[in-house]
């Protein structure tokens, strides 16, 4: 099976599924960071040492990481990919920007449906990431723990009895656990409650980022909520805290949506229909406008105001409209202006169910 398929298709197979409160929680991710005791961490490692890490970890995977019946893993060496393929993997949340741009002897290990992504020689030697549709933080954590335990049976992790798992960045020391959910919160934005809610979130050990993590922008009313503290709390406490806070945010968003329908149904319907019409017929579409229009349409479908595209189609469009995927689809040499027209054409074809044609 060619590894190129991971960058040729915008929609990861796991995103075709559904989970709890999937109208508000788009996806759940749990990631654990680990390092090998006997070798320098990636930031200080020589090329030879990072190559040794790569050899050790891929060897463990090739020997058989999990129990019989687990889907096969595909090892992709980053130096075998061009910059565009790396960018697409970032846009699909399968690798981090750091792994794409700065790693030495970096690799990513993916399973068939792309719900498991194991990054090698990123900021840490090993980063195990599990992705689930909807709000499934407990399920994602259990799968990440299963994989982590399988690695730990065969590796000597860098671990301190007082501090826990040692990592390159002090903010990950302790459990090394990052759990996050991607939330679509348009009603809280429209009712101007979002700043108050996000401020409250930061007071309970959680942080809010954009769609690609730290330093990225919250486009299309998509917010990534994750734990900020990894030291001084158990994994159970981190997961439970995120779970309970996200449930409260979901409730606030549901109440805000109900208020919009009760107070401004006609105005919201008009906004949804206008965005759907523009997406269906526009000849040029910038990425920020596409994100906002897609957010409006997703909200309209969720509220029953529009008999429009399925959630999997919306998820696919969120990736398809990104710069990297557009260049992958239509040619790396397309200029910025042409990219906007190609984006519009791709959206029109997808919404109408037409076969996608060259730009």
- Say if residue 214 carries a ligand binding annotation: yes
- Say if residue 209 carries a ligand binding annotation: yes
- Say if residue 213 carries a ligand binding annotation: yes
- Say if residue 212 carries a ligand binding annotation: yes
- Say if residue 281 carries a ligand binding annotation: no
Torsion angle (degrees, nearest 10) of CA 174, 131, 120, 159 = 20
The dihedral through the CA atoms of 216, 27, 140, 8 has a sign that is negative
- Say if residue 179 carries a ligand binding annotation: yes
- Say if residue 30 carries a ligand binding annotation: yes
- Say if residue 243 carries a ligand binding annotation: no
- Say if residue 271 carries a ligand binding annotation: no
- Say if residue 210 carries a ligand binding annotation: yes
**DSSP state letters, 214-272:** TT---GGGEEEEEE---SSS-HHHHHHHHHHHHHHHHHHHHHHHHHHHHHHHHHHHHHH
Residue whose pair of structure tokens reads 């040794």 in the numeric block? 52
Q: Kindly tell me the burial class for residue 277, based on how many C-beta atoms sit within 10 Å of its own C-beta (0-12, 13-18, 19 or more).
A: exposed
- Say if residue 339 carries a ligand binding annotation: no
25: three-class secondary structure by DSSP: strand
- Say if residue 31 carries a ligand binding annotation: yes
Phi, psi of 175 (to 5 degrees): -80, -25
- Say if residue 29 carries a ligand binding annotation: yes
- Say if residue 93 carries a ligand binding annotation: yes
Comparing CA positions, the residue from 244, 247, 183 lying closest to residue 27 is 183
**Which residues sit in the known binding site for ATP?**
27-31, 93, 127, 178-182, 209-214
**Which residues sit in the known binding site?**
27-31, 93, 127, 178-182, 209-214
């Amino acid at each position: 099976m060619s590894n190129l398929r991971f960058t040729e298709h915008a929609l990861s197979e796991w995103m075709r599924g559904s989970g709890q409160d999937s109208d508000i929680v788009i996806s759940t991710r749990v990631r654990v960071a680990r390092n090998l005791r006997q070798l320098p961490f990636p930031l200080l490692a020589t090329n030879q040492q990072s190559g040794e890490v790569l050899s050790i970890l891929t060897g463990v995977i090739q020997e058989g990481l999990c129990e019989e019946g687990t889907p096969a893993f595909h090892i992709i060496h980053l130096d075998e990919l061009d910059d565009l393929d790396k960018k697409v993997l970032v846009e699909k949340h399968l690798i981090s920007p750091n792994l794409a741009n700065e790693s030495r002897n970096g690799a990513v290990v993916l399973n068939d449906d792309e719900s498991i992504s194991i990054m090698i020689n990123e900021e840490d030697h090993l980063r195990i990431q599990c992705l689930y549709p909807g709000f499934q933080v407990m399920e994602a954590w259990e799968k990440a723990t299963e994989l982590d335990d399988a690695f730990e049976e065969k590796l000597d992790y860098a671990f301190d009895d007082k501090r826990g798992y040692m990592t390159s960045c002090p903010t990950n020391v302790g459990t090394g656990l990052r759990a996050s959910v991607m939330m679509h919160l348009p009603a809280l934005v429209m009712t101007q409650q979002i700043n108050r809610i996000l401020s409250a979130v930061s007071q309970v050990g959680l942080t809010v980022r954009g769609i690609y993590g730290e330093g990225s922008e919250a486009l299309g009313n998509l917010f990534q909520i994750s734990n900020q503290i990894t030291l001084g709390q158990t994994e159970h406490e981190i997961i439970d805290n995120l779970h309970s806070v996200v449930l409260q945010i979901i409730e606030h968003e549901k109440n805000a949506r109900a208020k919009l329908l009760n107070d401004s149904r006609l105005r919201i319907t008009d906004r949804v229909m206008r965005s759907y019409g523009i997406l269906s017929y526009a000849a040029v579409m910038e990425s920020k406008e596409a994100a906002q229009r897609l957010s409006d349409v997703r909200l309209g479908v969720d509220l029953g105001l529009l008999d429009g595209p399925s959630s999997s189609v919306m998820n696919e469009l969120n990736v398809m409209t990104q710069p990297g995927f557009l260049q992958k689809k239509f040619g790396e040499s397309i200029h910025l202006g042409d990219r906007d027209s190609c984006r519009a054409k791709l959206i029109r074809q997808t919404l109408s169910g037409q076969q996608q044609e060259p730009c």
